[in-house]
């Protein structure tokens, strides 16, 4: 129920090196959870709990920080402003410029929600990135895609948006290849890769952590295997730190790409 | 019968999916190296354009990275039974 600790223990059990059983390789079964409770046919699982918890934490944090904003920030407002300014100066300003500050609330909440969801893979007790279930990623991708389609049609007009996408300045035979590629890029590849990237990174990261944790348990016996168990435990620490970096990076990239897509919808790309 | 003959034969299976993914990861590896290498070179030449360059660096990185990540599906489809 709680954490992968039990999944690991279930998978490795009393199973150690030289005890006659093979390595219990982690796989897709590590991403399925027994429901915590069920209402009819609706099953509430751990990833859902994590998602709800992350939403509440992000809302509560920014609520606490900016409930009564003061000109000279004190306490938690300092922290909130630090986060907002980081998103504004590193993500929003380079792609959207000063006029894009309208989209700051959206990007800030997107960044911190994804970051916290990713970070849940490292926090004990939870130890599961909810984003490694693609169902949690798809709504975000659809939301971003819907937003930049809407902005594009609103700012450039229905016909203007399509005609601005039309590649210019190439000899006509190139159009035969270029137009399908452009259509494919815009309607399939952009929203698809936006979601898949986040999902696959979290999936691979979680799998890496589970593999080395299970291997540590599997190798830990009073044989020569103990030596390798130490190496595997060191790898767990290394992957832990690596995942810390990747969690931040994926939240950053998702938000950066959102900002660039919005920027391309706001004005024609020439 | 000796104990050696009665012991169950150990069957080793080659996981072609994992092998294929290993090969597929070479290209994105080179690609990510090129992206960051050239971005650092560009930043060293023109430090004042760092913000603009790093934006395109991350876009290029994410486009290259997705190639490796899409391949991650393969070991799960073509795994040894």
pLDDT of residue A105: 93
* Per-residue pLDDT tens digits for B19-52: 889 999 999 999 999 999 999 999 999 999 988 8
> Considering CB atoms only, which of A27, A28, A197 is closest to B69?
A197
* Per-residue pLDDT tens digits for B42-80: 999 999 998 889 888 998 998 898 888 888 888 877 776
DSSP label at residue A235: H
Q: For residue B20, what are its two tokens?
A: 């294929």
Q: What per-residue string of b and e applies to A99-136 under the rule 16 or more CB within 10 Å gives b?
A: ebeebbebbbbbbbbbbbbbbbbbeeebbbbbbbbeeb
pLDDT in tens, chain A (270 residues): 344 544 555 554 567 777 767 777 788 888 888 888 888 888 899 999 999 999 999 999 999 998 888 888 888 899 999 999 999 998 999 888 888 899 999 999 999 999 999 999 999 888 999 999 999 999 999 999 999 889 988 888 888 887 777 777 788 888 888 888 888 888 888 889 899 999 999 999 999 899 899 889 888 877 788 889 999 999 999 999 999 999 999 999 999 999 999 998 887 665
With an 8 Å Cβ cutoff, the interface of chain A facing chain B consists of 27-28, 93-95, 193, 196-197, 200-201, 203-204, 252-253, 256-257, 260
Angle at A143 between CA A142 and CA A146, to 5 degrees: 80
pLDDT of residue B13: 72
For domain B16-77, give the fold. Answer: F1FO ATP Synthase (1.20.20)
Alpha-carbon distance B76 to B16, whole Å?
Answer: 10
Are A36 and A44 a contacting pair, CB within 8 Å?
yes
pLDDT of residue A1: 37
Neighbours of A221 (CB within 10 A): 15
pLDDT band at B12 (very low <50, low <70, confident <90, very high): low
Give the 3-state secondary structure of residue A198.
Answer: helix
Q: For residue A11, what are its two tokens?
A: 């998978």
**How close, in Å, is residue A263 to chain B by CA atoms?**
12
pLDDT of residue A150: 92
The answer to whether the Cβ–Cβ distance between A193 and B52 falls below 8 Å is no
* Per-residue pLDDT tens digits for A133-170: 999 999 999 999 999 889 988 888 888 887 777 777 78
Nearest-Cα residue of chain A relative to residue B49: A94
**How close, in Å, is residue B79 to chain A by CA atoms?**
11
Q: Which of residues 23-52 of B touch A (CB under 8 A)?
A: 51-52
Alpha-carbon distance A214 to A211, whole Å?
Answer: 5
**How close, in Å, is residue B40 to chain A by CA atoms?**
17
Nearest-Cα residue of chain A relative to residue B69: A200
Please report which residue ranges of B2-49 form alpha helices under DSSP H: 3-6, 16-24, 26-45
pLDDT of residue A198: 93
Alpha-carbon distance A77 to A70, whole Å?
Answer: 8
Domain segments of chain B as ranges: 16-77
**How close, in Å, is residue B64 to chain A by CA atoms?**
11
Give the 3-state secondary structure of residue A21.
Answer: coil
CA A57 → CA A64, A80, A156, distances in Å?
10, 13, 37
Nearest-Cα residue of chain A relative to residue B73: A200
Angle at A197 between CA A194 and CA A198, to 5 degrees: 95
Instruction: Give rounded-to-5 percent helix, strand, coil for chain A.
Output: 75, 0, 25
**How close, in Å, is residue A63 to chain B by CA atoms?**
30
Mean pLDDT, chain B, whole residue set = 84
Contacts of B52 in chain A (CB under 8 A): 94
B59 touches A at CB < 8 Å: yes
pTM here is 0.85
Of A1, A231, A203, A236, the closest CA to residue A9 belongs to: A1
- pLDDT over 90 for what percent of chain B? 37
The answer to whether the Cβ–Cβ distance between B59 and A201 falls below 8 Å is no
Contacts of B51 in chain A (CB under 8 A): 93-94
């Amino acid at each position: 129920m709680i954490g992968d600790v039990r999944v690991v223990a279930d998978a490795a059990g009393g199973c150690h090196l030289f005890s006659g059983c093979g390595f219990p390789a982690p796989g897709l079964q590590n991403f399925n959870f027994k429901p915590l409770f069920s209402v009819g046919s609706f099953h509430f699982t751990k990833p859902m709990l994590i998602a709800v918890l992350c939403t509440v934490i992000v809302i509560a944090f920014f609520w606490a920080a900016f409930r009564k904003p003061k000109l000279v920030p004190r306490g938690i407002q300092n922290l909130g402003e630090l986060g907002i300014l980081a998103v504004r100066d590193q993500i929003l300003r380079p792609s959207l410029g000063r006029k894009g500050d309208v989209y700051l609330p959206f990007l800030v909440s997107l960044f911190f929600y994804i970051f916290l969801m990713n970070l849940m893979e490292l926090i004990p007790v939870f130890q599961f990135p909810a984003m490694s279930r693609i169902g949690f990623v798809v709504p975000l991708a659809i939301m971003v895609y819907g937003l930049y389609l809407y902005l594009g049609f609103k700012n450039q007009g229905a016909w203007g948006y399509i005609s601005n996408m039309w590649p210019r300045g190439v000899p006509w035979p190139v159009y035969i290849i270029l137009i399908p590629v452009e259509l494919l890029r815009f309607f399939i590849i952009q929203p698809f890769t936006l979601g898949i990237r986040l999902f696959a990174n979290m999936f691979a990261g979680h799998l890496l952590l589970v593999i080395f944790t299970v291997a540590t348990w599997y190798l830990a016996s009073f044989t020569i295997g103990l030596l390798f168990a130490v190496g595997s435990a060191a790898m767990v620490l290394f992957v832990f730190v690596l995942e810390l970096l990747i969690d931040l990076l994926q939240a950053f990239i998702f938000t950066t790409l959102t900002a660039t897509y919005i920027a391309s919808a706001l004005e024609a790309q020439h | 019968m000796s104990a050696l003959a009665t012991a169950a034969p150990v069957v080793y299976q080659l996981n072609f999916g994992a092998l294929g993914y290993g090969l597929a990861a070479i290209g994105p590896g080179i690609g990510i190296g090129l992206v960051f290498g050239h971005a650092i070179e560009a930043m060293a030449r023109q430090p004042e354009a760092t913000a603009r360059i790093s934006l395109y660096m991350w876009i290029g990185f994410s486009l290259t990275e997705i190639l490796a990540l899409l391949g991650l599906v393969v070991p799960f489809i073509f795994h040894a039974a």
